[in-house]
Amino acid sequence: METDDGHDRTGERAAAELSFPARLAIAVGATVVAFATAVHLVMMFLHVAPTNTISKQHAAAVDGYVYPEFEQNWKFFAPNPLQQNVAVQARAELRGPDGRTTTTPWTDLSAQDGAAIRHNPLPSHTRQNELRRAWDFYTSTHDTAEHPIGLRGNLSEQYVRRIVAARLVAAHDGQPLLRVQVRSVTTLIAPPPWSDEKVDTKPGYRLLGWWTVTGADLPEANNR
């Protein structure tokens, strides 16, 4: 409804009709959202901004908030963009109803993500980035012998293990998961026909050891 002065009073009247607890809940919710947004923006600013006194003093808190979900990656851009396809695959060791253990075939988790977002006008952010960024996080914090480098090495391993365990346990109807193994398959992208560059497009493998799965690695809904 529009008054003589041109103001729409419909929203004001609807708000006035709300009970006090409802208005209080809305106010608290809006405050929480505003506070969370402000914290996120401040953390991301301190992460990407040049090193300064504040970012040095709170480096641990900033890193703990940013990594691994919000880490920035600039490998898409020049001068050294990625020129390879990396597929993350996994398999599991399961315990059957008779108590025997079986090993599943390799599952291409990257291919599953690709199929989920292909031809999707509004693809899931999780499907696009979760596994890919987790693997980047792992490889940047481990050497070629799979030894962790720095304080975030163990965190990256735990992050990958939980993603893999959650997906494999869902794919096998919650069958008890004992161990998981992960590998990557890297294939260089062939140069265009007009280029004289020569590359070997034979896949290269990076095979990790078996990881024991604990209850903490599984989603609560499937933690049996």
pLDDT for 120: 87
pTM listed for this prediction? 0.64
pLDDT for 137: 92
Place of tokens 């208005």: 23
pLDDT means per 10 residues, the chain with 224 residues, are 53 68 87 92 84 83 77 58 85 89 94 91 84 92 91 91 92 86 92 80 93 85 44
Question: Which string of DSSP letters, residue by residue, matches the chain?
Answer: -B-TTS-B-HHHHHHHHS-HHHHHHHHHHHHHHHHHHHHHHHHHHHHHSPP-HHHHHTHHHHHHHHTTTT----TTSTTS---EEEEEEEEEEEE-TTS-EEEPPPEEHHHHHHHHHTT-SS--HHHHHHHHHHHHHHHHTB-TT--B-STTHHHHHHHHHHHHHHHHHHHTTTPPEEEEEEEEEEEEPPPPTT-------S-EEEEEEEEE--GGGS-GGG--
Under a CB-based contact definition with an 8 Å cutoff, are residues 86 and 185 in contact? yes
pLDDT for 157: 94
pLDDT for 175: 82
Backbone phi, psi, residue 183, to 5°: -145, 160
Residue ranges of domains in the chain: 10-66, 84-222
